[in-house]
Structure 1
Amino acid sequence: MKKRLHHLPAQLLAMAIVLVVTVPIALWRDGWTGVGGDAAGVAVVTLSYVVSSLVIAWTDLKAHHMLLPVALATYIIKFTIIGFAMWGALNTNWAGLPWMGVSVIVSVIAWMTAHAVWVWRAKIPYVEV
């Protein structure tokens, strides 16, 4: 399974860079509430993508023929949970929600960019070696 997760370190590094850049801005702008929202947004995106990567890697290893239905079910379940959690957070009037929203957008862009760069540079064979 480890060989199916070679992309994760690059993406986790991208998330760390997002935190290093955005936390000081959030702290300066809105204090610790902004930092909490920022960190929560990065954590939601990171956890979401890591869970997807683990489920997809495990399914590819154990039951390759089930990869598409398992991946789609994972996304449906994951986004349903995230949707209900965000809906619940919206009703709390937490001051960190704007920073959470911004950091979710920035984190998704950073994650996908890191993944694209990793794929571009990876030497992926066309056949199993």
Structure 2
Amino acid sequence: MAEPGTRAAEAAADRGWRLRHLPVLLVASVLMAAVAAVAGGLARGADGALGAAAGVAVTAVSYTVTTVVLAWADARDPQLVLPFGLGVYVAKMTLLAGVMVLVASTGWPGLVPFALGIAAGIVVWTGVHIWWLTTVHARR
């Protein structure tokens, strides 16, 4: 097992480790958005395709913002991770709830595919992130 200070020294020497996984997750999200667009299009036409792809995109943007903010906070001071993480979470959920209420009030037929796209984006992002942590990151 490494000495306690060794890990911190390695992290300081390799500043990019906090965002190293991001490109893989974004590529997976783009692929999922394409699959969601096809599925949404088959189920509900153009509105379904747009809604499903937009749902995946919302998830990818949300998780990317969180990742970047937490990486920034951790690089400054690890004690900032919790307050910044909670603040970003509250802001994102408030914004998402507002968007969903506004979109639902329009009666747009792409709302259900949008919600399903969000769910699919969450599953793919989380799954790929777990894969990355257990395979790629574990070898480091």
> Does the pair score TM above 0.5?
yes
Question: How far apart are residue 124 of structure 1 and its match?
Answer: 6.9
Q: Which residue of 2 aligns with 1:108?
A: 122
Paired letter, 2:117: S
Question: How far apart are residue 65 of structure 1 and its match?
Answer: 1.7
- TM-score (norm. length: structure 1): 0.89
Identity %: 30
Paired letter, 1:123: A
Q: Which residue of 2 aligns with 1:123?
A: 138
- Aligned partners of 2:86, 2:78: CA distance in 1, in Å? 14
Matches within 5 A, 1:50-61: 50-61=64-75
Which blocks of at least 5 consecutive residues in structure 1 are unaligned? none
Question: How far apart are residue 21 of structure 1 and its match?
Answer: 1.9
Task: String of CA shifts for 1:65-105, please: whole Å, max 9, x gaps.
Answer: 21111111111111111111111111110110011011111
- Aligned partners of 1:27, 1:13: CA distance in 2, in Å? 21
Between 1 and 2, higher relative CO (CA 8 Å, sep ≥ 6) is seen in: 1
Structure exhibiting the larger radius of gyration computed from Cα positions = 2
Matched, 1:90 2:104: yes
CA-atom RMSD, angstroms? 1.5
Paired letter, 2:113: W
- TM-score (norm. length: structure 2): 0.82
- Aligned partners of 1:64, 1:99: CA distance in 2, in Å? 38
Q: Which residue of 2 aligns with 1:16?
A: 30
- Aligned partners of 2:87, 2:38: CA distance in 1, in Å? 37
- Aligned partners of 2:113, 2:27: CA distance in 1, in Å? 20
Question: How far apart are residue 28 of structure 1 and its match?
Answer: 2.3
- Aligned partners of 1:78, 1:14: CA distance in 2, in Å? 21
Matched, 1:28 2:36: no
Following TM superposition, the consecutive aligned residue runs of length 4 or more in structure 1 with deviations greater than 4 angstroms are: none
8 Å CA contact retained: 2:21, 2:132: yes
